[in-house]
Structure 1
Amino acid sequence: MTEPDSSRIALGARLAELRTDTGMDGKTFAARLGWQRSKVSRLQSGQQKPSPADLAQWAAAAGREDVLPELLARLRGLESQPQQWRRQLAAGHAPVQDRYVVEYRRATTARGYETSVIPGLFQTADYARHLLAQNAQLMRSPRDTEAAVQSRMRRQEVLYEAGRLYRVLIWEAALYAHVGPAETMAGQLDRLIGLIGMSTVELGVVPLRAPMPLTPKHAFWIFEEQRVVVETINTELQYDGAEDVELYTRVWDTLAEHAVTGLQAQRLIGRVRASIAPS
């Protein structure tokens, strides 16, 4: 599934939300627009990309002309290639988080490696709130922090669904990077410890002093063993070529060989937690 596909699905979900808020079903809403019901269905499911005129009509039919700038910004983010954060964040962080909700629901397996932050899939609401506020300030994007936090928390629902598996490595340095006050970090590290042992999570920590045959590299995620996503400061990069996927898989496997898991990971995280906010 390509990034524009998931963005289109997220935009469709937003349109469906606006329609639902009116109390009208799809048939009634289509009649108000003067469209075929099938068009409403295709737009809501993400099967069809709306035009700017479609979005204007939709907002008017829903009695929500105020959201048209947001909808148009989502559309611009969907169309941008490559996926520069400046364009993706034109409507704020919430649309990007909505897209991630779609991506994680579509993927039953993923493996990730993070070097500087706790993965969004494992973040507490407070940690996410501070991180998203920092990013909004850096990117000078709309401040929709609370909506973005709620969407990021919805992404985590997949952790409690049987048949999924998220294999995640975190470089130990990320545990020391303060995002918010000590209380925020303590809660976040407690959350990490609590994830160890879940049937859907395999969490490993790569110790700072671990002998490694390669340097820590940058963060990345591999979805369904078919697609790699790399986030830089200004751009999101995606690779689905077999050679690229194999390369990142090899890097992940090498790092995993030197990571601690289970009780060892709990103890390592616990030591960091105690040093930040002693109990």
Structure 2
Amino acid sequence: MRDLSANGVSVGRKSAWRRLPLAVKIGGFIILLVLLGMVAGWLNPTDPNATGPNRLSPPSPQHLLGTDLLGRDLLARVLAGAQNALYVGVIAVGIGLSLGVLLGMLAGYFGGWIDSLLSFVLDSLYAFPALLLALLFAAVFNPGATSSMAAIGIAAVPAFARLARAGVLSVKAQPYVEAARALGMGSARIIARHVLPNILGPLVVQASLAFAASILAEAGLSYLGLGTQPPTASWGRMLREAQSYQELSVFPVLWPGLAIAFTVLGFNLLGDGLRDWLDPRRQSR
């Protein structure tokens, strides 16, 4: 019986893996590489800001990805940039997800003037993209990673709020929610126990896509000088610094550009795959 049970579990795991969309597998693999790179950056003894005599050197055993104009190791800087990108992405998506879900659930569940007021606020936020918010925060505060994270996170709030509001409007009309309300269950308990678990799927997909957008936005803001400030390594700032001497060496432009491209691609593929995998119409087949 143990052998049959073990074989059954093994077969079940294999079939579950096969049912995953290809996009989820590819996206998860790319994200795993990025996470491994981030851990490797912690263990890498090379200082990403340490200059050296070997300037604009090609890849070699001493510098696996080469060096930049100041002789800094590009591998160490790309890995440090991965840490910075993931850190900014986590904080920015956390801001957008928490505020967006809170506002969207309040608007969808209570309706009335609360819905009208919050919808007006969210529609107003659409007029302020991340770049304009970053310019505003840079004028009020000092430009840096903190202001860019706040700008990217606030710009992501409307998308999460609209998604949460639509999900709440659909779920709160279900019979089990009406039954819980008839039994005297409070609104907070209904939202936490019955509403939120049933709208998590689309929010997870949106969070994955927003993570890719946040990394791309942070790179763009750093390229413009509004994001991460030196000496902290950032992929966008690496591209900006290498732009002036890209004719002399292509490697300082190539590696951070590929890092941005593959990271954004990985999260976009993961989001598209999760969207297909969590589709109720697909699960009902």
The TM-score bracket by the shorter chain reads under 0.3
Q: State the TM-score, normalizing by the size of structure 2.
A: 0.22
Higher Cα Rg, which structure: 2
Higher strand share: 1
Higher helix share: 2
Higher relative contact order (CA 8 A, sep 6+): 2
Q: State the TM-score, normalizing by the size of structure 1.
A: 0.23
